[in-house]
A and B are shown apart, each in its own frame.
Chain A
């Protein structure tokens, strides 16, 4: 098990560093200068030069990147240009809110999507299967921003079932969960549809496998076959997809936080975009890299626990 973990972790670190490099190159290559962005149109050349020096933009590109990674490794994400607070502090204040939102969205998707997918596979081509094929495709297709707007209007503004905006009182956990329910469901809708489809395909593949046929020949009941022999293997691709899906989950979280006015990385970034506060925006993007590394590794470990073929095939 340990060699597998080390190998996957090394690969994750490599992917993360490359991602940072690509992001860095993209920002260096596109027209526009972060220092001018921060200072606005009325800045003098001298001010720009000073800020470029502060932001290390006057160094050669490879040196900039090395310094950037070095500071990153020390937890230094730069400084907010408006309030002079470290970006790391702002980002780590916002991160728990976004992480809670993302985690609960995944929880919705697992709680609803997986059982529905299993149902579709076991009752293949029944009317539930056909109806859910349409419904899940629609769930996958709809843009998160649109789903968020309509969920807010229907369930919060019109029906008053859920609170509309904010994250709840800081020291009141039930209130916070109450505020989390609707936004996280909104974020999870697409994933519910996706996991339902994925689970259905994976279950169908395994329901035709040799070991299932053998179990059937021994007279094992269908329910026990589905739960004991098919489900643990069929869930593997779901975990793999969730492990790499954190990026798109965070993309959706930005919009959901905007619509529901929840504190978090998305709202932090949005405010920073309006204030042209470039270091904060970059910091918010950067902090997602270790999140990806962590979720991907967790998914790999879980898969290795579930599937002995992966575990022994190192």
Chain B
């Protein structure tokens, strides 16, 4: 444990968040959206470990339910972005040059747009909500994955085992699925771990601007932005809401750094990672 502090800290942080998300139902002491006006803005106590918010809702229950929302949002948007990125990246790296150039041009151009402003623009057209947040995040993450997949496949295509497989008449799809994808899983995983804080940050930001999670959804962003309005009388709400955000984002970044270090050590100065 002492030899790899980054890896273990990251793994424990992510583990805590995932477990609390999966067990948010059984673990939560109260209904996260049940309003109880007579106990509003209470500080932490034995009955309410993290206190109550401006509507008397139990903050601990809301934080736990928020982990579930965050986990769903992260997995949903990253999975779709990853699928789109892999397909586009393989097409760009393995397909004709013109197609590859066009795909990369579109990917580059999406990455130049400011995500927050585009998210606000789309939220006005489609309407606010976590779906809009997920849509924007997916659209902005996919190009980064496509870029990695293309770069990796261009390197891997020249490897002996890929040339051998093709010489033995392996179909393009088989080469891609059997030889290319498994060998680029590492860099993709690092990027995914780096992107989790981005997804959470956009949710918090959008909800703070009133365009993300809608009441009474107890997302972390909603808890923080509710708490921000009552900061003078009940500072515990903001503290309780930001704690899981800090744990999740810092944990994922530590994990990403540890993964990258491990792969650098394994592959040396190969230029592959």
Contact = CB atoms under 8 A, between A and B. Distances in A.
> Is the pairing of A and B real?
yes
Interface string A209-231: 00000000000000000000000
Interface stretch (B20-28, B85-93, B177-185, B201-209): B201-209
B194 to A, nearest CB: 8
The size class of the interface chain B forms with chain A is: 35 or more
Given A23-B118, A30-B126, A282-B121, A244 B6 contact: no
Which of A145, A247, A278, A284 has the largest number of chain B CB atoms within 10 A?
A145
Contact of B126 (A32, A149, A284): A32
A111 interface: no
A184 interface: no
A149 B238 contact: yes
A273 B211 CA distance: 9
Interface in A96-152: 133-134, 137-138, 140-146, 149-150
B116 interface: yes
Among B111, B118, B121, B249, chain A packs the most CB atoms within 10 A around the CB of B121
A15 B109 contact: yes
B246 interface: yes
B124 A258 contact: no
Contacts of B122: 26-27, 30
Nearest to B221: A145
B78 interface: no
Contact of A27 (B106, B121, B204): B121
B114 interface: yes
Contacts of A16: 109, 112
B250 A141 contact: yes
Interface string A271-314: 00110101001101100110010001000000000000000000
A27 B125 contact: yes
A16 B242 CA distance: 37
Contacts of B245: 142-143, 146
B37 interface: no
- State the main secondary structure of chain B at its contact with A: helix
Interface in A248-274: 248, 250-252, 254-255, 258, 265-266, 269-270, 273-274
A62 interface: no
Interface in A1-55: 14-16, 18-19, 21-23, 26-27, 30-34, 37
Contacts of B211: 273
A37 B124 CA distance: 7
B117 A265 contact: yes
A273 B120 CA distance: 7
Contacts of B253: 137-138, 140-141
Nearest to B241: A146
B31 interface: no
A278 B126 CA distance: 12
Interface string B95-127: 000000000011011111111111011111111
A82 interface: no
Given A140-B253, A153-B231, A273-B211, A19 B205 contact: no
Interface string B122-150: 11111100000001000100000000000
B110 A281 contact: no
Contacts of A266: 116
B6 A134 contact: yes
A61 B211 CA distance: 28
Given A137-B253, A142-B250, A247-B112, 14 more contacts: A16-B109, A23-B113, A27-B125, A34-B124, A133-B6, A137-B257, A141-B249, A143-B200, A146-B246, A247-B113, A254-B205, A255-B116, A282-B121, A285-B117
11 contacts: A15-B105, A26-B122, A27-B121, A134-B6, A134-B254, A143-B245, A149-B238, A250-B114, A258-B208, A281-B124, A285-B121
Q: Which 8 pairs across A and B sit closest by C-beta, in order of nearness?
A: A143-B201, A251-B116, A19-B109, A141-B253, A18-B109, A250-B114, A141-B249, A32-B125
